[in-house]
């Protein structure tokens, strides 16, 4: 085999490996997603680009206050970014004063800075199933989330992963869990 043929085969093999690794990374490890809308303000802004960690939930369950990305089941290729409030098996309720209760106890959290004006379906106690999560946007009065019947409880199988790092805009880059 001549040198040119070896070089072409070597380059082709290299490109094939790069494509395979890229595919595996995006499919199983992480992906980029875009924040669309104001529902996560002040934590995340419309137009922020995030890297989603798709692998960590294979080793442990999602936790309260994690910011997650999930596939919205009523529209193709639509992803929501929200914060987990209620965990599987818990009962969630939001009273008319905007207080959030888990199993009858008010939770302390510092993500939603405004009083919730509309508790939605959570005005009545909602008991989560064994693979269900209750999520809210940080901009509580401008968020389509688990309070709305159209969104409801989030099944674990539609969770894409944990919002891990904001990569754009560069001046706001950083780990999502460190953004306050």
Catalytic residue, from 54, 82, 143, 146: name it.
82
* Residue from 64, 66, 85 nearest 145 by CA: 85
Q: 11: which 2 tokens?
A: 């380059």
CA distance 115 to 97: 7
Where b means 16+ CB within 10 Å and e means fewer, 64-88 reads: eebbbbbeeeeeeeebbbbbbbbbb
H/E element, 35: none
Active site residue 156: no
Q: Residues with Cβ < 8 Å from 109, sequence gap 6 or more? A: 65, 85, 100
Whether 22 is catalytic is no
Q: In 3D, which of 105, 147, 102 has the Cα closest to residue 122?
A: 147
Which candidate in 10, 12, 39, 56 is catalytic?
Answer: 39
Catalytic site positions:
39, 82
């Amino acid at each position: 085999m001549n040198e040119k043929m070896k070089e072409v085969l070597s380059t082709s093999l290299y490109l094939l490996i790069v494509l395979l690794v890229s595919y595996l990374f995006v499919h199983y490890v992480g992906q980029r997603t875009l924040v669309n809308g104001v529902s996560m303000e002040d934590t995340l802004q419309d137009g922020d680009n995030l890297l989603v960690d798709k692998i960590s939930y294979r080793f442990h369950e999602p936790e309260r206050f994690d910011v997650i990305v999930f596939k919205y089941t009523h529209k193709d290729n639509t992803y929501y970014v929200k914060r987990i409030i209620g965990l599987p098996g818990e009962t969630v309720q939001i009273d008319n004063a905007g207080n959030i209760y888990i199993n009858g106890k008010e939770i302390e959290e510092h993500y939603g800075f405004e009083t919730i004006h509309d508790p939605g379906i959570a005005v009545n106690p909602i008991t989560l199933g064994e693979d269900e999560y209750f999520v809210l946007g940080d901009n509580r009065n401008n968020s389509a989330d688990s309070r709305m019947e159209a969104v409801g409880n989030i099944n674990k199988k539609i969770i894409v992963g944990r919002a891990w790092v904001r990569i754009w805009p560069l001046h706001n880059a950083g780990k999502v869990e460190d953004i306050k």
